[in-house]
Amino acid sequence: MSLLNKDVRRNLLRKMSGPTLARLVYGIIRLLRLTIRIEVRGGEVLQDFYRRGEGYVGIFWHGRLLMIPFVYPGGMVHVLIGTHRDGQLIADVMECFGFGLVRGSSSKGGREALRDMLRLLKENDSIAITPDGPRGPAEEAKPGVAQVARLSGKAVVPIAFSASRVMRLTSWDRFLIPKPFSRGVLIVGEPLYCQPDEEVEAFRLRVEDALKRVTAEADGCFPSPVHGTR
């Protein structure tokens, strides 16, 4: 594909059906994962939820989601994905991984998505959310994740990925792609619960801070910062 000019690549992608393109992307992610040695830290946190059959809200920044599917130990997980055009490809790829879907965002379908997430959490399924998605600002948590946790009483679990050698796209989230044969780390932080007398905004800030801390911890595992393009 890199040997083709931009117009030819664009036409080829336009002719692909959604499922076909999703399977191609899924295969590329799987192949990339085989080349990367990934250490998981804190994986016992998710294992404990899985063993207890208890649902939780897993969160990670939109720009770090590429390798996140490989941290989940089992159980049914439903990924919240916006209804915008770009979200459809992500939704199709997540289905290839075997995840369920909840469609909606703060700008469209939010009320229905909240209702669906609360129902799934009540059934002890788990939810995965990028709290800065679908359009940013990058690495700023929107109130939705705090509201879901407050209403459901479920834990919020921050998750982060980083790698020794990466590429960063020029998208709003500076999407991170680990280079083949790099070293990676997935870090699962401690669960957070909204306290009975805690305001949603206070909990949102606590969630945002926790996710920033585990992301910084993941980046700090490697001597070179991953915030630039290289």
Amino acid at 69: P
On the CB side of 91, how many CA atoms lie within 13 Å of its CA? 15
pTM: 0.89
Q: Residue 183: what are its φ and ψ, rounded to 5°? A: -105, 140
> According to the model, what pLDDT value does residue 149 have?
97
Task: For residues 181-208, give the mean pLDDT.
Answer: 97
Kindly report the average pLDDT of the chain as a whole number: 90
pLDDT digits (tens, 9 = 90+) for 155-189: 999 999 999 999 999 999 999 999 999 999 999 99
CA distance 69 to 64: 11
The CA distances from residue 219 to 163, 183, 185, 230, in Å, are 7, 12, 9, 15
What six digits make up the tokens of 205?
């800030």
Q: Where are the domains of the chain?
A: 6-219
Alpha helices in 62-158 (DSSP H): 85-96, 110-122, 144-152
7: helix, strand or coil: helix
**H or E element at residue 12:** helix 6-15
185: helix, strand or coil: strand
Architecture per CATH, domain 6-219, reads as 3-Layer(aba) Sandwich (3.40)
CB count within 10 Å of CB 165 equals 16
CA distance 137 to 16: 31
pLDDT digits (tens, 9 = 90+) for 19-37: 889 999 999 999 999 999 9
Structure-token match 């040695």, residue found: 37
